[in-house]
Amino acid sequence: MGDVDFDEFVAVRSSALLRTAYLLTHDHGLAEDLLQTALTKAWFSWGRIGTSHEAYVRKIMVNTYASWWRRKWNGEAPSSQAGTDELPGGDAASDVYQDTDLWTALGNLPRRMRAVVVLRYFDDLTEAETAALLGVSVGTVKSQTAKAFTKLRLDPALATSGEVLR
Amino acid sequence: MTGTLRNTVDELRTSLSAHADALTDDALADDAPLGRKAALQRRIRRARNQRRAGIAGGVAAVVLVAGGVVATVSQPSRHSSSPEIAGHTMERTVTVTGFDYRLTQTGQSTPGQQRFTFHLPEVGPDRVIELLGTGLGDGWATLEDQDAALARVSGASTAGAPVPVDSTKHDVTVVLRDTRRDAQVGIAVYERDRSLPAGIDDGTAVFRTSVGSDSLLGGTWAAPGRSAVSFTVTGPAERWRVSGSCALPGAKPSRDVMLDEVVDGKSFAAIGCEPLAARSLDPGTAGSQPSRWPLTTGPHTVTVRLVDRGGHPVQVAGAVIGGAIYAVGQQRTVRGMPVDYEVPANGRVWLLDQAIPADNAEITGPAYVEAVLGRGDWRPTAQHLTDGDRDMELAGDDNRAGGASLAGLGEVLAGSTYRFWLEHGKDPAAKATILVYRPLG
């Protein structure tokens, strides 16, 4: 099973990957399904993965997400999370909702474009790393980023809130 | 301009972090991984059973692969003549989208093998693979990488164009179908060398003279360590775009410094800065959206400069920056949207051949397919009509930005025919247009 134990990896790193999945899907249930789908795929080749297991799982996750089309939620949730598919309330959530317009606009981006934005500006991957992960050229990452900014700038959710993006 | 810069990346990072943190605060309880582990065990068990069922169904094919399924990959000798692979004499270098690649590995199957796997090591530079075949008869061989078909050769065309393959350590597979019993296939693996194509370079990266049908009007690189540099271009150009390059010391992209691209004293665009070790060597492939006004005869002064998030000029030791302006090449207007006549994709250059209604388009490869979408929520479908292919998994495109939007659908390999159609989520009468590009040469 390689140098990194699969179960240990799930215990230590899956929460971080879930955050990326959530930013991609904007839905906790779908994020959990996406993460588990990626981890299941990775399990079968765990012993052959080279240097970075996390990068490998993230790659599967992002590409699986990009190929989903309005997949009906039918996955399994961790038992402790069953039935929860809303963002939590409370003070932290109120801070989040202050930028709900940008969050809404991000949700309107096409999937690969949203993936580029999340990888570049949340996971802090370089353009080259993002390109390798998505299996596209660096030029495509740059153009997708530029198009994402254009779409965000023109999104009605932001147009009405007065936020300026370019 | 100050406010614009601040609001771009800042707002994005803040929003993404805030939402991710909110999930962490509550939804990611300490025992969540335990519940996830149990769910994963069930999924893995189920997937393993499904795979076993699949293998049982494929026994007849596996039996044909006598003598092992892994073909050898060898290093070509530097001193020998050009190596032969599957009946083809290989070039030691190939050029893909302007850059030279050097032959580093070759491998070929045993005649008669129907399916086999090549192990690829992790490499630093970009990598392309050429697929070759002999004795294919009326059949064909397809190079597959992680369930995606990348290239195909057939009796009529036994040498494929080099295709990019990612640089990580992984396996690629070649699948033969309906070929003669003595059919043999091989692959040639090329890695990018250090030479640079024609253009304006700094010894490592280059603004190429032409990128697709876009032509370089002018550009420059700053002396090492300089944080601003200017150059002059002359028009006229009906449509033009700016390409910048910014690399800074460090392991991660800078959150605090950007490259401001200024034309005739006005900020035209701003881009982020990459770590030096990961800088793009071909920065001209990316750039701003085309201008909405023509470039007059000029001259025009273009400056690229490092700025902080507030738009104030900054100095950064070890920075490497440059900039260029390209005249945007031939375009065609489809549904009110200018689309490129010539596009680079999958290691090849493609020329626009047809613009057809997207309600039921039957397309035979080789072709690269894109779509121009009107406003709204679109569901694309690509159904295979040829044996041995699979339906493409296409992502939907929710175009809410107003105006038309361009969506890439994918490549149809030679020998394949797919039926494409796009459905609008709400308006059955809404129209989209499919763009069919054919390979150059």
> What is the ipTM, given to two decimal places?
0.76
Q: Which residues contact B340 (CB under 8 A, 6 or more apart)?
A: B212, B213, B329, B330, B331, B352
Q: How confident is the model at residue A162 (pLDDT cuts 50, 70, 90)?
A: very low
Inter-chain CB proximity A88 and B282 less than 8 Å? no
Note the pLDDT tens digit of each residue in B287-302.
Answer: 666 777 788 887 999 9
Q: Which one of B18, B27, B279 has the shortest CB-CB distance to A81?
A: B27
- Determine how many CB atoms are found less than 10 A away from the CB of residue B246: 29
Give phi and psi for B357, each to the nearest 5. Answer: -60, 145
List chain A residues with CB under 8 Å of B122: 50-51
Q: Which residues partner with B201 through β-bridges?
A: B206
Preferred mutation among B5, B36, B122, B291 to probe A, highest tally of A CBs within 10 A:
B36
The DSSP symbol for B97 reads T
Q: How far is B323 from chain A (nearest CA, A)?
A: 15
Q: What is the pLDDT of residue A42?
A: 82
B175 to chain A nearest CA, in Å?
A: 20
Among B287, B320, B324, B291, CA closest to B306:
B320
Characterize the bridge pairing of strands B274-275 and B240-248.
parallel
Global pTM reads 0.56
pLDDT in tens, A78-130: 333 332 223 233 333 333 334 567 888 888 888 888 999 999 988 888 888 88
Residue B31: what pLDDT? 60
Q: What is the pLDDT of residue A166?
A: 35
Among A99, A126, A156, beta carbon nearest to B278: A126
Q: What is the pLDDT of residue A108?
A: 82
Q: Cβ A121–B12 below 8 Å, yes or no?
A: yes
Residue range B195-209, pLDDT digits in tens = 889 999 998 899 999
Over residues B66-85, the pLDDT tens digits come to 222 344 445 554 445 678 88
Average pLDDT over every residue of B305-325: 91
End-to-end alpha-carbon separation of chain A, Å? 46
Mean pLDDT of chain B: 80
- Residue B310: pLDDT above 60? yes
Query: B287–A146: do the CB atoms touch at under 8 Å?
Result: yes
Contact B169 A50 (CB under 8 A): yes
Strand partners, B94: B101
Q: What is the DSSP letter of B414?
A: B
Spell out which residues of chain B touch residue A35, defining contact as CB-CB under 8 Å. Answer: 36
Strand partners, B216: B326
For residue A161, give both structure tokens: 């809130």
Of A51, A78, A164, the CB nearest to B36: A78
Is residue A39 scored above 50 in pLDDT? yes
Residue B401 touches chain A, beta carbons under 8 Å: yes
Q: What is the mean pLDDT of residues B250-262?
A: 81
Provide mean pLDDT across the span A138-145: 86
From A15, which residue of chain B is nearest by alpha-carbon distance?
B28
Q: Which residues of B touch A23 (CB under 8 A)?
A: 16, 19-20
Residue A151 CA: distances (Å) to CA of B15, B349, B360: 16, 27, 28
SS3 state of residue B440: coil
Does residue B229 register a pLDDT over 90? yes
Could you say which of B11, B16, B25 has the minimum Cβ distance to residue A165?
B11
Q: Is the pLDDT at B325 greater than 90, yes or no? A: yes
